[in-house]
Structure 1
């Protein structure tokens, strides 16, 4: 057979990120058995480069180094160069990013790691410039030094010893569990997390931290909104709404096209890093819906509608699934699709409307971004503009809407940011939940997008016979074992579809996914739920995901999911599994509850027993739906069931249950009327044929 390292093998990969590199002179290999065996046979160190398609500095390093023939010659001769899409392989990214953070104190992408032939890291970093810059070595010089050291047997032994030590440290960080479990968290951790969030809050501009870059941190906002709903802590609400308003009026939000960029580089949310990630646009709308329910302010609903319109327009597969990202760059520059100058605005609008638009969105000759361009932000209120332009508020709003439509259409003629069309099971689960939540609060028609996407994922990525979930779909190609985030986030999305539609098929899918979480990811001996499946590829360590980062902790989401679903399974004790997880990681949660928001919220549900509204009806009455849409009921499960025992028996047959699970048992409709049963902390109200008394009972027993 020919040497697999003799050519760039990314031409057969479907990942857009890997395909971006299939024309490099570097003989890139995918992470597969062929490349790993070649490294062992030829005793060459591996150069591992991890990134993603929307990553700005990944593009820069490619242009500066990976397209350079001299650099390629060094890599091809002395290393096994492997490219990994972090969105396809979050397990590899977690392992080697953890090492990078432990060793260097920082992380980011592109992630650059040099590994022994058996995959253990001995040198790590992120972006390296082509020539030395400040404290950073030049990439070519670094390759030469590492190659020379590897060629010396004594130095190679030192490198291997270092690799063993670093791998052990990563194992301790990612895989190991305490020898002695801690006490299960109770009520204090939630209060501690809130205090920590309030201490770090930027009271002037919103967000957390006193300077840039600013990330959304949706878990923290969710925490603050929940605590306000429970306790009336106005400080928590103020910080949450200041953050939501700062983002939605700033440049991190696309004022013309809707949707959120990844983060802002400054304290004021003005200049974003321009990539748009599916997960940000899935996690933020439910927070704006909650703020709308809590405050009654309609602008929060507008943000949700605009964001979901953006997702529908630009990130939705024709058959229902959701794409992953839009790139930060348009052509060769970052952000050019989104920014404006006054002259560009005047090219498409008449004089007075152009001035009105520029005043509203802060478009000036000096700009707030590169080359005198402006990232649009809401800089003047409509009321102020009405006074300044001597017209009514309605007239200002009408003219601005027409101007925005005209400029949005004109923007479409620009070079568009590339789209990464990977459809990832877990990210789709988050987006499905967002649409389901919008169906509960704004318009029930949003349920159609949620269920269409769920059907797409089930058809393309789910094998019902084996219970196996594949992680990625793109252009008909599927790849990769599902990770915990795929099973947990998708199960949550399926359950949310059940809550809004009352369709038992969605509940059944959520239960099937939860069964696989227990079978493939739960380790009873260690008392934890791992990120990778038991039957998956064996790596240098088996990671867990405890911390909330760009997305919620999959361990926290899975733990909370099991607590929610426990009432829907008659013969499985999911609560015991969840309790074991919380016990195993109790000390870590207590030590930093804000870093573990998802686990902290799961612990709160465990301590309080959760809350349910069991509805016995053929469908949720319209007035009940409207009433629920107006109220923020964090953590409350809406458990629909047929009104009669005969109808319930048909559901039980479909689910394969011999008896009714606790959430439905003995809760049929009264006098053939839609009936609701409210339960909180292991106690229940009497059946009600009016929703209001049940909600009052929940409020009194919260």
Structure 2
């Protein structure tokens, strides 16, 4: 029976292992059972931290009568959308096509070959206005299956046409990624120059002017858009002179508000209930404009992106108060990640649950809510002050008396000192409460983003412990998720990887982290592994001019949405695989000098010209990568003694230069001089595995950007390069900053 789920990597699947529903994991065996029994398939999609998934599970999947009906008339499949985003994407598209909306839990009914014919989201145990009960729905689907089979088949066929059309639109949007002629030097394609400025102007029009963020409720952290805005601001000095011509002047003026857009949203989120004021870390989203009522699940993928953003704001801001505030939020988020999501042996868990089980019942946000009486019991005479500054009143905002802590503004210096004294007592009380469950599933791509965030933050905050955590996660993913043949597996649990092959976002996300870790440590083993992943991703996901999100499309998904498998470049909560790949290709080109990989990155971003000036929020990371492309990117090679080298690197990072590519050799060793142009040929000559023995004739140097870079007898030198063409080396921070600013 449902015991099939006990050994699954996904905590969400294991949560349902004891249900009376006879659950199957997604796979050929389940659909074959449906074919043999001639029954439809019920596909239930959710994730461990999802509040309404728990509600429907308790109301329906734990109910014996409901389970008996499902077991008799259906084959039931449970899917973790975080483990199988390919499955989720196809059936979410079907759900949205049929209902005009989507969400989780998602409830989809399919033919035994995988084609969907009916779909929805949450269904209650009893009828509600405009909504049947789940039991009524099951009876109606079963009746249609037996009495109106031709109508079911027709509905499934029509839905396939819709989904095939959507896939074809993605392919057309991306264009044909033509192979390169090895006998011809690729030429830069270029992106429309006004595109990035126009995107800022669109975002300015979508900003919530009162509470920060973009769009209406619910309000999600616009993480990748913030990265774009910070890079946009860093790439353009605020003192930029006036332009001639009205249109051009309007576009160039977009550089000025970009930082303000980012800062207002970062400020609003960190002073709200979205940010855990006691322990750090951000909740998934807020249901109101003020960010005062969060949905309480805490996701790794949100927090790693926001960590990166706050650390960059701390480095980039011209205001001391903003720098201190951003540093504190970054430090709090990093500490929360390591303390709450860090796993023994390295790696980071996926999430903390939205619900807390209290006296046998799931209570959303139960750990995090406070009443006035609870504050009084915890901190005595300070309770009234805490209630006043944190928005806790007689009436609760989530339950009748319970509210999360929501200051809604920064505290003044005296308030900060008082809060610092009181906070430990409140946290100690909260830590004695029941705690939300943790989904200990390790996702390769999300861990890659965590590695990147921690490695960059470590340098910006001077925190070696964060760098150690990043290295530990990288070693875990390398050891557990990466096969000898170069295949990256998507998920693991308790040190054992599952069978699901990594998606494009996993290869590119892990490579993103490894490049950042190399830049922070100078350990070329991380560069070599990143190179291997980039080349393997190119080989695996780029086929006949079409980029794919997954290496293989299961037959059931091919039946449901057509055999084509083009990548979807649009972003949701995380950067898309397309945009992540474009970023790591550009970084790799900066390190290796491979113009072929640079041009592929440009090709992947061509869709931005049609999307960014209209709906930039669906392409934030792509826009951030485009900023790096427009900036060069800037290649920085630093060689010499560890202390002076680290000082130069820290100064470069603090500029926020978009897409800064950093190669470091912390030693006084001087390699044999090589012509910089030779470095271009190295990456192109390597086999796809990319991590083989040392290249003949190039000593032990693994990173082409470092070749021929002589270190001084003492101190360190920094070489600022673009396209592997380097300016004269400099030895001081002031000289380096002048070199970096001269190319803007």
State TM-score, norm by structure 1. 0.91
Asked if the contact 2:518–2:524 (Cα under 8 Å) also holds between the matched residues in 1, the reply is yes
How far off its partner does 1:631 sit?
Answer: 2.9
Taking a change above 3 Å as real, the CA distance of residues 212 and 534 of structure 1, as seen in their structure-2 partners, is closer
The counterpart of 2:534, out of the listed 478, 499, 514, is 514
Higher alpha-carbon deviation: 414-423 or 585-594: 585-594
Structure 1 residues 605-631: Cα deviation after superposition (integer angstroms, max 9, x where no partner): 445531111112253524324434543
Residue number in structure 1 paired with 2:687 = none
2:694 is aligned, of 641, 656, 669, to 656
Alignment of 1:7-86 (within 5 A): 9-86=4-81
Report the TM-score when normalising by structure 2: 0.86
| Long gaps (5+) in structure 1 | 1-5, 384-392
Cα deviations by residue, 1:432-488 (Å, 9 ceiling, x for unpaired):
11111111100141211111111111111112x201111111123320211111111
SS at match of 1:284: helix
Please say if 1:245 is aligned against 2:289.
Answer: no
Q: Establish whether residue 579 from structure 1 lines up as the match of residue 602 from structure 2.
A: yes
Q: Does 1:171 align with 2:167?
A: yes
1:373-392 mapped onto 2 (5 Å cutoff): 373-378=402-407, 382-383=411-412
Counterparts in 2 of 1:556 and 1:343: CA distance versus 1, 3 Å:
same
1:364 positional shift = 1.9
For the pair 1:334 / 2:329, whether they are aligned, the reply is no
Separation (CA, whole Å) in 2 of partners of 1:234 and 1:82: 51
Within the alignment, does 1:567 sit opposite 2:590 as a pair?
A: yes
1:591-610 equivalent positions in 2, closer than 5 A? 592-610=615-633
**Larger mean Cα displacement after TM superposition, 626-635 or 366-375:** 626-635
Match of 2:158 in 1: 162
Q: Which deviates the most, 307-316 or 692-701?
A: 692-701
Asked whether the 8 Å contact 1:520–1:535 carries over to 2, the reply is no
1:173-212 → structure 2 map (5 Å cutoff):
173=169, 185-209=191-215, 211-212=216-217
User: Which residue, 140, 145, 157 being the options, matches 2:140?
Assistant: 145
* 470, 475, 488: which one aligns with 1:455: 475
d(CA) in 1 for partners of 2:267, 2:722: 33
The CA RMSD over aligned residues, in Å, is: 2.7
Q: Structure 1 residues 487, 690: closer, same or farther in 2, change over 3 A?
A: same
Query: Does 2:555 correspond to 1:529?
Result: no
Pair 1:268–1:689, CA change in 2 (3 A): same
Q: Assess if the C-alpha contact under 8 Å between 1:121 and 1:167 holds in 2.
A: no
1:539 equivalenced with 2:557 (yes/no):
yes
Which stretch has the larger CA shift, 445-454 or 173-182?
A: 173-182
Whole-Å separation in 1 of the counterparts to 2:371 and 2:519: 47
Write the mapping of 1:473-484 to structure 2, written as runs, cut at 5 A: 473-479=492-498, 480-484=500-504
Alignment of 1:428-447 (within 5 A): 428-445=447-464, 446-447=466-467
Take 1:135 and 1:184, find their aligned partners in 2: how far apart are those partners?
51
CA distance 1:148–1:382, shift in 2 (3 Å): closer
Range moving further from structure 2, 117-126 or 149-158: 149-158
Q: Residue in 2 aligned with 1:218? A: 223
Verify: 1:646 aligned to 2:701, yes or no.
Answer: no
Residue correspondence of structure 1 range 457-472 to structure 2 within 5 A: 457-463=477-483, 465-472=484-491
1:473-505 deviation line (CA, Å, top 9, x unaligned): 112332021111111111111110110111101
Aligned to 2:383: 354
How far apart, in 2, do the equivalents of 1:161 and 1:151 lie? 18
Using a 3 Å threshold, how does the CA distance of structure 1 residues 181 and 471 change in structure 2: closer, same or farther?
A: closer
Distance 1:560 1:252, change over 3 A: same
Provide, for residues 342-380 of structure 1, a one-character-per-residue CA deviation record: whole Å limited to 9, x for no partner: 2111112231x2233223322222233311212101257
Q: How has the CA–CA distance of structure 1 residues 413 and 647 changed in structure 2, closer, same or farther, with 3 Å as cutoff? A: farther
CA contact (8 A) 1:322 1:453 kept: yes
User: In the alignment, which of 299, 304, 308 is matched to residue 282 of structure 1?
Assistant: 304
Instruction: Give the conservation status (yes or no) of the 8 Å contact 1:521–1:534.
Output: no
Give the aligned partner of residue 550 of structure 1.
573
Structure 2 vs 1, CA of residues 26 and 277 (structure 1 numbering), >3 Å: closer, same or farther? same
Structure 2 residues not aligned, in runs of 5+: 179-188, 239-254, 683-690
Measured in 2, the distance between the counterparts of 1:260 and 1:17 equals 21
C-alpha distance 587-205 of structure 1, shift in aligned 2 (>3 A):
closer
Q: 1:572, CA displacement in angstroms?
A: 7.9
User: Using a 3 Å threshold, how does the CA distance of structure 1 residues 609 and 470 change in structure 2: closer, same or farther?
Assistant: same
Shift of 1:82: 0.4
Report if the CA contact (8 A) 1:9-1:28 is conserved. Answer: yes
Query: Which residue in the other structure is 1:303 paired with?
Result: 329
Please list the CA deviations of residues 371-390 of structure 1 after superposition, one character each: whole Å capped at 9, or x if unmatched: 1212101257644xxxxxxx
1:691 is the counterpart of 2:733: yes
* Residue 261 of structure 1, aligned match among 283, 300, 314: 283
Deviation at 1:249, TM superposition (A): 0.6
Hey, what does 1:636 align to over in structure 2? Answer: 660
Q: Is the contact made by 2:719 and 2:727 (CA closer than 8 Å) also made in structure 1?
A: yes
Deviation sequence 1:499-522 (CA, Å, 0-9, x none): 011110111111111111011112
Query: Structure 1 residues 362 and 685 mapped into 2: Cα distance closer, same or farther (>3 Å)?
Result: same
How many residue pairs get matched?
A: 681
Q: CA 1:648–1:133 in structure 2 vs 1: closer, same or farther (change >3 Å)?
A: farther
Following the alignment from structure 1 to structure 2, what is the Cα–Cα distance between the partners of residues 288 and 700? 26
Q: What does the per-residue CA deviation read over 1:231-250, in whole Å, with 9 as the maximum and x for residues that have no partner?
A: 23332222211111111110
Cα distance in structure 2, aligned partners of 1:343 and 1:628: 50
1:317–1:108 Cα change, 3 Å:
same
Deviation at 1:292? 1.6
Residues 371 and 393 in structure 2, CA contact (< 8 A), matched pair in contact too: yes
Alpha-carbon shift at residue 648 of structure 1 (Å) = 9.0
The 1-side partners of 2:715 and 2:159 are apart by: 68
Moved more, 195-204 or 598-607: 598-607
Paired residues for 1:98-137 under 5 Å: 98-137=93-132
Question: Partners of 2:410 and 2:229 in 1: how far apart?
Answer: 27
Superposed displacement of residue 313, structure 1 = 1.3
Flag the 1:269–1:449 CA change in 2: closer, same or farther, 3 A: same
Distance 1:404 1:590, change over 3 A: closer
Q: Point out the more displaced range, 651-660 or 215-224.
A: 651-660
- The answer to which of 182-191 and 140-149 deviates more is 182-191
Do the aligned partners of residues 149 and 96 (structure 1) sit closer, same or farther apart at CA in structure 2, a change above 3 Å counting? Answer: same
The DSSP-based 3-state class of the residue aligned with 2:103 is coil
SS at match of 1:481: coil
Shift in alpha-carbon separation, 1:145–1:381, aligned structure 2, 3 A = closer
After alignment, is 366-375 or 628-637 more displaced?
A: 628-637
| C-alpha deviation, 1:161, in angstroms | 2.5
Q: Give, in whole Å, the separation in 1 of the partners of 2:652 and 2:388.
A: 39
Does the 8 A contact of 1:196 with 1:594 survive in 2? Answer: no
Specify the SS of the correspondent of 1:349.
helix
Counterpart CA distance in 1 for 2:298 and 2:2 is 33
CA contact (8 A) 1:177 1:585 kept: no
Match of 2:250 in 1: none
Of 372, 377, 380, 2:401 maps to 372
Q: Is the 8 A contact 1:221 1:240 kept in 2?
A: yes
Task: Report the counterpart of residue 432 of structure 2 in structure 1.
Answer: 413
How many angstroms does 1:682 deviate by? 6.6
Aligned pair partner of 1:617 in 640, 643, 665: 640
| Counterpart Cα distance in 2 of 1:217 and 1:573 | 32
Q: Which of residues 345, 349, 360 is equivalent to 1:319?
A: 345
Aligned partners of 1:29 and 1:35 also within 8 Å: yes
**1:539 alignment partner, SS class:** helix
